[in-house]
């Protein structure tokens, strides 16, 4: 059977005789469980890329290239990135072009980061505010809207060294290139990465940063519309 992917203009269909790998990259303070409610159409296989240990002062782009070591880049593949994972996906796509790149609650350009990220970086927030303290605050005050026990559990399970590195790597990210084709879904009430600073393919009203967990049906429909899983014998 043939697997059809519509990650190109509608007039052009791409067909493959094998399952297409879809690599999922979670956000900072999250892991594969962030995609627990996400399903893919037949013909696509979800592969979750676990975070690897960062090198001290390693730029986000360099980390992304190392992360891509787990991707079979000689075969057609698709990238799906959540929040910081979307930034990783963009950098990987620049080095190893996928069939398409899909962002969830993320950004494609470093200029779309809120200014306070840079301010926090200049103040060395990763030193002034410990990851342990932030984890406690997430448990006491619902930092994400709406928060869930799973979000809190993932956040608390995040490696402290990785967390400290990410707090500096994100504000230090420098990218002006948007890989194509790129699709992007974003909540209109996202305060972590405000929608006013970016230009998503689809905006979801009344939804915050954890769109992938609070409104998985919307995300699943978005993915299905992109992948267009047609079948021909």
**DSSP secondary structure, 13-49, as one string:** -EEESSPEEEEEE--TT--GGGGTT----TTEEEEE-
Long-range contact set of residues 34-37: C-beta below 8 Å, sequence gap at least 24: 34/82, 34/154, 34/212, 34/213, 35/82, 35/212, 36/150, 36/213, 37/212, 37/213, 37/216, 37/220
Q: Residues 66-90: pLDDT tens digits?
A: 999 999 999 999 999 999 999 999 9
What is the residue-averaged pLDDT of the chain?
84
129 falls in which pLDDT band (50, 70, 90)? low
Token pair 């790149």: residue: 101
Assign domain 2-114+172-232 to a CATH class.
Answer: alpha beta
Q: Residues 155-199: pLDDT tens digits?
A: 778 888 898 899 889 999 999 999 999 999 999 999 999 999 999
* pTM exceeds 0.75, yes or no: yes
* Both structure tokens of 112: 């779309």
Q: Are 54 and 63 in contact (CB under 8 A)?
A: yes
Q: Residues 203-215: pLDDT tens digits?
A: 999 999 999 999 9
- Residue 117 has a pLDDT of 79
- Residue 147 has a pLDDT of 45
d(CA 30, CA 110) in angstroms, rounded, equals: 21
H helices within the chain, ranges in order?
60-67, 84-95, 115-122, 125-128, 131-140, 149-157, 160-169, 211-214, 216-227
| Domain positions in the chain | 2-114+172-232
Diameter of the chain measured on Cα atoms: 60
């Amino acid at each position: 059977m043939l697997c059809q992917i519509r990650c190109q203009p509608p007039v052009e269909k791409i067909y493959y005789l094998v399952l297409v790998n879809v690599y999922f990259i979670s956000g900072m303070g999250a892991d594969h469980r962030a995609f627990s409610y996400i399903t893919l159409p037949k013909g696509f296989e979800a592969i979750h890329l676990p975070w690897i240990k960062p090198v001290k002062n390693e730029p986000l782009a360099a980390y992304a290239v190392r992360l891509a070591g787990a991707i079979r880049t000689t075969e057609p593949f698709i990238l799906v990135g959540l929040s910081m994972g979307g930034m990783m996906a963009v950098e990987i796509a620049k080095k190893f072009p996928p069939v398409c790149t899909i962002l969830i609650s993320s950004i494609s350009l470093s200029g779309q980061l809120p200014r306070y990220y840079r301010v926090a970086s200049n103040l060395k927030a990763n030193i002034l505010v410990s990851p342990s303290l932030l984890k406690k605050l997430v448990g006491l005050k619902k930092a994400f809207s709406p928060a869930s026990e799973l979000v809190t559990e993932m956040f608390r399970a995040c490696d402290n060294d990785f967390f400290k590195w990410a707090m500096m790597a994100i504000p230090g990210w420098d990218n002006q290139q948007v890989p194509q084709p790129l699709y992007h879904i974003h909540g209109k009430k996202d305060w972590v990465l405000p929608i006013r600073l970016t230009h998503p393919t689809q905006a979801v009203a009344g939804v915050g940063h954890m769109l992938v967990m609070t409104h998985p049906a919307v995300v699943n429909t978005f993915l299905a519309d992109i992948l267009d899983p047609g079948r021909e014998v």
